[in-house]
Structure 1
Amino acid sequence: MNTNKKAMMSAPNTDQNILKEENNNRIIHKKTDTLVYALGGLGEIGKNMYCFEHENEILIVDAGVHFPEENLLGVDYVIPDFGYLVKNNHKRKILVITHGHEDHIGGIPFLLKSVDIEAIYAPRFAVALINKKLEERRMLRGVKIIEINEGSRIKMEHFTVGFFNTVHSIPDSLGLLITTPNGRVVETGDFKFDLTPVGTNADYQIMAYIGQIGVTLLMSDSTNSGVEDFSISEKKVANAILEITKKATGRLIVATFASNVHRVQQILESAVASGRKVIVFGRSMENVVQIGRKLGNIKIGEEHFITADQLSHTPANKVCIVCTGSQGEPLAALSRIASGTHRFIKLIPGDTVVFSSSPIPGNGQSVNQVVNKLFKAGANVLTKSILNNLHTTGHASQEEQKLMLQLIKPKYFMPVHGEYKMLVQHRDTAIETGVAPENIFTCANGDVLLMRDEKVYQSSMRIPADDIYVDGNDISGVSTAVLKDRKILSDNGLVSVIISIDSRESKILCKPVIVSRGFVFIKDSQSLLKEAELIVYNALKERMKTRTTFSEIKNTIRSTLEPFLYNKTHRNPIVIPVILNSKAAMLQMQQQRALKNSNHKAASE
């Protein structure tokens, strides 16, 4: 008996060992298995994308983007790697959207460019946002978008999808019940439990019923896993905003997330209740207000809005300005107001500026800079603190996460939508509610779970799930080398070395000229640059004593100049050699190339 067979006979008779074949100790997938994996959303906040695969079908839940950190210079979006889906383009695929936030719908235009999607199913508000997004990119034609609600049902060959209402900071937010050949999965989407919600209430009874009929795997929002107790109700925020709106003696400027439609609705309603006219600034805010009014989520008549031309003629205590920029974004409306560069608004003493938001981690410094500028201009600035309720989250805190776990009663649990520490904290919360630790899977993007006969196992299979950096509309991805060059340029600048040669005689026609940008101040560094030109010149004379190539000349310039500059300045600029060949040499090269091509053509004939 060989070693592998002995190992199989001696191993305990557990489900995990039944799945294992001692050939490289890998779990061998059966055709009848259901695969569950994330292409985005695990170990990060953003670019949510969760996939369920069975035989010839892939059900995709959400397709979001992640907005780049400061170190990703020039990158517009970070999207999931769609390579695995492209590879499986022969399989039937549908996309189901839980709600309309950018981290759940922002990747749709990029996904549609490379992956065959049969149809997109989305709730009403998300449909309007998706249509707007695709219309702006001229991609609306040929895309099948189907509106869904809590009563909808999607039937595929292997999957059946049902829905239930959840509470979030945007209207029409849904959770999913996915019935697969190997068990039931609940994907909550983003949610919180608010007992006095502004919009539609959560379907508590339906969630409890789903828990009673039995759930194999729960995938639940982990964003606020580290926050204890219940989050405050949106109604309390509404009351706080109304009180401030009534008390403000001058203009009221309110900044919040454009995507937080319920908050925008409350701000506008408070303004109207206080006898103020409303004006909206910021493209994303204008789009959301327009869509919200069209769909009836924002019930404010046209008579309550004013234009930019009317702003200067309206009494200060009768104005409410709603704008973007609550996170200190440099180009957002509030940042331009604070800097005095906005076209229509100049701050005056007596203005009240309200931040109805909390800084996203990493944005604290940008927000503080804007707040300081607002104070310097004489504005009264109010931010969220223990003294007021100017903001509440749209994500479940620990006690709300426990309630979801108790309602759904899953056998297996996979925390999703969160940084790694959030996933671990959610895991601990699940253990508190009675989920067995061995039945909880803290996964990374690309990890695969196997569902088989209403049991879930961790697979050794990995799916490529790297970040793809989008520059403009190019979804091929900005390579690491490009980002590295951008980082060097931002830190150390650029040095260009221009040389004139005659390649026929292997001769330098004049001394090199060095041009610097972002490296050193040229006026104060003439001696350094002259010395650098001389060192490069001497190295090139030595190199061109024998026949050489353009590539070797460039390498000589770099290998000579880079160490010299580092020794003198302790900085490593990008060195770009520019070779100018003499006209006679270029003409001779063209003639030789033409002769070579004609000889090749004659030989082939």
Structure 2
Amino acid sequence: MVLTHGHEDHIGGVPYLLRERSDIPVVGSKLTLAFLEAKLKEHGIRPRTVRVREGDRRRFGPFDCEFVAVNHSIPDSLAVAIRTRAGMVLHTGDFKMDQFPLDDRITDLRAFARLGEEGVDLFLTDSTNAEVPGFTTSERELNPAIEQVMRTAPRRVIVSSFASHVHRIQQVLDAAHQHGRKVAFVGRSMVRNMGIARDLGYLKVPSGLVVSTKELEKLPDHKITLVCTGSQGEPMAALSRMANRDHMIRIGKGDTVLLASSLIPGNENAIYRVINGLTRFGAHVVHKGNAKVHVSGHASAGELVYCYNIVKPRNVMPVHGEWRHLRANADLAIRTGVDPDRVVIAEDGVVVDLVDGRASITGKVPAGNVYVDGM
């Protein structure tokens, strides 16, 4: 099993798979495996792992895998080229083409071009932003808005983000440090992941900046920044519990809450309930709808077209998106010259075969939700 990066939607299901098949080796980058191993420890699972980095080439059974650096909203993200007897498959993973990334690690387009010259028989591409024209904005363009919040907030600043969004949290730490605020992490997954990122050198933390929630009691409110989970309205996350008065941190008048992430389709009602709850207690809520506090971690249409023109794949299979995103991505591939008969749109469970240089749907296997007892 190859993991392209360490976001929850890509590693969160691994414990449940390994419960059934503990013999499966897990392949990933240093940060990805560190996040995963911490999660698996809570499940009492000791995985077989293989650490790789960009430029590595490893064989796993019949699959000859080469790993390529890509830029995303978390460090250490990888694309993977899989050479097989049937042909080469190139999977972008989640990616974008930020030319000024916070960690100076850009998507390796030279490797994409080299693989294209060798011949990519099937190109699996991130479809999340295929409907969005142009190029995705650089993460650095958020700095002014985040700094303004830190500078102008009269009391505490509470920032909610994904617990694996290392780049965004780095920006929050930098802005808090610049304006003389101390930072405390709130929420088990946030504390765990940021501790890992810091220990491995992916999160740069000035000495004395991060404190415990207990130490906050000694500080004036205007010197406090809290970084917590719950940006999607998850009922058990820290921010949702604050909005429901079910958390030790009590939101009050003059507090500023910054939702530093996207609004994922399907979560709208839960997020708005949290915003309304926080506002009811007197907080000022800053979010994507009223300030420039989020940019996507995914390639927009212009970047996808760029990749198609570089790689020149024989077949394309859009991945990572709803049907409308897959369709939009397929249309982009066709516009760059890919034969419409060689563009495959496949939903979960659909079997796609690559035979004699052509990808086609050949069947379907059972696939769907796996329900987990959370009690």
Give the TM-score category using the shorter length. Answer: over 0.9
SS at structure 2 position matched to 1:395: coil
After superposition, the C-alpha distances for 1:248-292 in whole angstroms (9 at most, x for unaligned) are 222111111112111111111211111110111111111111111
Which of 98, 108, 112 is the matching residue for 2:18? Answer: 112
Alignment partner of 2:296 out of 382, 393, 408: 393
SS of 2:32 mapped into structure 1: helix
Cα distance in 2 between the residues matched to 1:248 and 1:467: 42
Instruction: Look up the SS of the partner of 1:467 in the other structure.
Output: coil
1:376 to 1:456, Cα distance in 2 relative to 1, 3 A: closer
Equivalent in the alignment of 2:85? 181
Q: Is 1:439 equivalent to 2:345 in the alignment?
A: no
Match of 2:369 among 456, 462, 467: 467
Residue identity in the other structure for 1:189 = G
Paired with 1:351 and 1:103, the residues of 2 have a C-alpha distance of: 31
CA drift at 1:243: 2.5
User: 1:280, 1:146 → 2: CA distance?
Assistant: 30
| 2:136 and 2:296 in contact (8 A); partners too | yes
Q: Report the Cα distance in structure 1 between the residues aligned to 2:252 and 2:24, rounded to whole angstroms.
A: 54
Q: What does 1:204-603 align with in structure 2 at a 5 Å threshold?
A: 204-301=109-206, 303-343=208-248, 345-385=249-289, 388-459=291-362, 461-472=363-374
Residues 2-24 of structure 1, C-alpha deviation per residue, up to 9 Å, x if partnerless?
xxxxxxxxxxxxxxxxxxxxxxx
Q: Is the 8 A contact 2:342 2:358 kept in 1?
A: no
Structure 2 CA distance for aligned equivalents of residues 160 and 112 of structure 1: 23
User: One-letter code of the match for 1:469?
Assistant: Y
CA shift, 1:118, in A, is 4.7
Bigger drift between 242-251 and 463-472 goes to 463-472
| % identical equivalent positions | 41
Aligned equivalent of 1:192: 96
Tell me the equivalent position of 2:54: 150
Q: Which residue of 2 aligns with 1:164?
A: 68
In 1, the alpha carbon distance for the partners of 2:263 and 2:64 equals 39
The change in CA–CA distance for 1:470 and 1:339 in structure 2 (over 3 A counts) is closer
Letter in structure 1 aligned against 2:17 = L
Indicate if the aligned counterparts of 2:18 and 2:24 stay in contact, CA closer than 8 A.
no
Matched residue SS, 2:184: strand
Shift of 1:239: 2.9
Q: Is the 8 A contact 1:265 1:297 kept in 2?
A: no
Counterpart of 1:470, as a letter, is V
Cα deviation per residue 1:496-525 (whole Å; 9 max; x = unaligned)? Answer: xxxxxxxxxxxxxxxxxxxxxxxxxxxxxx
* Cα-to-partner distance string for 1:203-230 (whole Å, 9 max, x where unaligned): 1111111112211110111112222222
CA contact (8 A) 1:121 1:146 kept: yes
Q: Which has the higher contact order (CA 8 A, sep 6+)?
A: 2
TM-score computed with the length of structure 1 as normaliser: 0.60
Q: In the aligned structure 1, how far is the partner of 2:264 from the partner of 2:359?
A: 34
TM-score, normalised relative to structure 2: 0.95
Report the 3-state secondary structure (helix = DSSP H, G, I; strand = E; otherwise coil) of the residue aligned with 1:320: strand
Q: Which amino acid counterpart does residue 167 of structure 1 have in structure 2?
A: N
Rounded Cα–Cα distance in structure 2 between residues aligned with 1:183 and 1:331: 45
Aligned-residue CA RMSD (Å): 1.7
Alpha-carbon separation, structure 2, partners of 1:406 and 1:366:
40
Structure of greater Rg:
1
Unaligned runs of 5+ in 2: none
Relative to structure 1, the CA distance from residue 428 to residue 136 in structure 2 (aligned partners, 3 Å threshold; closer, same or farther) is same
Distance (whole Å) between structure 1 residues aligned to residue 364 and residue 244 of structure 2: 48
User: How far is the alpha carbon of 1:423 from its aligned partner?
Assistant: 1.0
Aligned length, in residue pairs = 374
